A and B are shown apart, each in its own frame.
Chain A
Amino acid sequence: MHRRRLLALLIVAAGLLAVVAPEAALAHGFGGRQTLPIPKWLFGWAAAVVLVASFVGLAVLWPKPRLERPAERRVAGIPQILDPLAGLIGVAIFVLVVYAGFAGNQTTTNNLVPTVVFYLFWVGLAIASPIFGDLFKALNPWRATARAVGWIGGRVSRGGLPTPMAYPTKLGRWPAAIGILAFAWVELVYPDRGDPSNLAVLALAYAAVQFVGMSLYGSETWNRYGDGFGVFYGMLARISPLRWAREGLFVRRPLSGLTTLDIVPGTVALLCVIIGTTSFDGFSAGPAWSTIVDGLIDFWRSVGFPQGTALELSMTVGLVVSVLIVAGLYRLGVLGMQSIDPRDTTPTNEVAGRFVHSLVPIGLAYVIAHYFSALGDEGQRIFYLISDPLGTGANIFGTSTATVDYTWIGANAIWYVQVAALVIGHVAGLVLAHDRALVSFRDGRTATRSQYWMLAVMIAFTSLGLWLLSAANS
């Protein structure tokens, strides 16, 4: 009776807040173009309910690991010419982008470079990889160049090329994490990010680092651990039911590819960088950040920095703190998991690595939720840029007069896609963590208990994601 009364009270309180909340928002001019049937925060509650229901469903209906030993089936052969051909296309695109950056019109919207780098490459490939598999590995211009140089060098030199050095275990995926953090800094903080020639210089600098890494440790090893984009798209491709290999095209259960992700240092850092920087992108567009950033700018100015540098430093601090908060949340979940079985003396870092693959679909969810509408809007520029890549008035394919249609999707539809991406991503994360717990803990009951904490982490990330999106849209 007491519980029923409490439940009734909670429902009444939620109802009252639902009525009051939109009024409060409208009083300050909020509301935007979205006309949602319920307040946005209720979506957060609904998402939490879905996660709890999924957790209970997994505990009851998923008693044995199903993804840990991924079975795959070869469905088609792949012509040997496809790999070098795809590499050649990748190199051609890279050369065109760099050339357009230097030789083309320096206006952001009239040059191919910003659209290709920030929308088609960064967001487009991130969304395509979990569907079609590791496309970037085939198109990777740096890997293709290194392989071509290696092939030619092996034939020209008498004793063959020297064997690459052994990759330091401690380095793990740290170079990739640093590379993606640097890219995120350029995307979110660097004031000249829209300048095509600057982007071309940065692309060449990134390529140079990749060539040094590949020449030291070999192209495949560097692609797997050192190249930020190669590692990130490679991880996302493990969600895909498709795996492309020299031996052919293989089909497997979606998500199962993630269970074979090798646990090396820097993997947790890389995923926290993805989630944290995307979170900061949303947070920095909201009202809470504008209050914080004013204080930070004042501080940097008080120690002698000019206004522009003070803003960059403040944004950099925000970016790094966002990554640290995400890392802290995950760490809390792992520590909670460890507390379930006091007899388990596995080091915390090892447990963190064991469950890190569950963060991959969350990283994807954050990227989709934050950037898919930008890809749909700004990505349309490619239709006119493909005819006029340098912005010089050319009309190669007759599409140079194409325009951007910002009404291709409504504000409500964007919100629903964002919510769906976050919920599906976090449920996928729960599934992966539950499956791994079943092989990591001594029995099903302990495995389920260990996942209480992962459930809390997933609810935290979902609530955070929805709050950031609602703040950015307000």
Chain B
Amino acid sequence: MTPPLAHVGHWAINLLYVAPLFIAVAVLGYQAMKDRRRLKREGDDVRSPPPPPAAS
């Protein structure tokens, strides 16, 4: 039986073609998560405005 490691070069090369996609998805996913958090924060800010300063 051929040891699977003998073909590791081919698999590594195949993976290299997919690598940009993995990197892009990871970066875009992170960015999308950040955007969602920011929007949620902004939404919370709009829904619950800070209480007016207490009259002194």
Residues of A bordering B, CB below 8 Å: 17, 20-21, 23-25, 27-28, 39, 41, 44-45, 47-48, 52, 287-288, 340, 449, 452-453, 455-456, 459-460, 463, 466-467, 470
Contacts and interface: CB of A to CB of B under 8 A. Distances in A.
Interface string B1-35: 00000001110111011111101110010011001
Interface residues of B, number: 19
A24 B21 contact: no
A339 B10 CA distance: 36
Contacts of B32: 340, 449, 452
29 contacts: A17-B16, A21-B13, A24-B9, A24-B12, A39-B13, A39-B16, A41-B13, A44-B16, A44-B17, A45-B16, A45-B19, A45-B20, A47-B20, A48-B20, A48-B21, A48-B23, A287-B10, A288-B14, A449-B32, A452-B31, A453-B28, A455-B28, A456-B28, A459-B20, A459-B21, A463-B20, A466-B17, A467-B14, A467-B17
Given A449-B35, A456-B21, A460-B21, A21 B16 contact: yes
A20 B10 CA distance: 11
A17 B12 contact: yes
Contacts of A25: 9-10, 13
A41 B17 contact: yes
A340 B28 CA distance: 12
Contact of B17 (A287, A452, A455, A463): A463
B47 to A, nearest CB: 15
A97 B13 CA distance: 45
Contacts of A466: 17
A452 B28 contact: yes
B24 A455 contact: yes
B9 A459 contact: no
Given A452-B28, A455-B28, 8 more contacts: A20-B9, A20-B12, A21-B9, A21-B16, A48-B23, A453-B28, A456-B24, A459-B20
Contacts of B8: 24
A149 B17 CA distance: 54
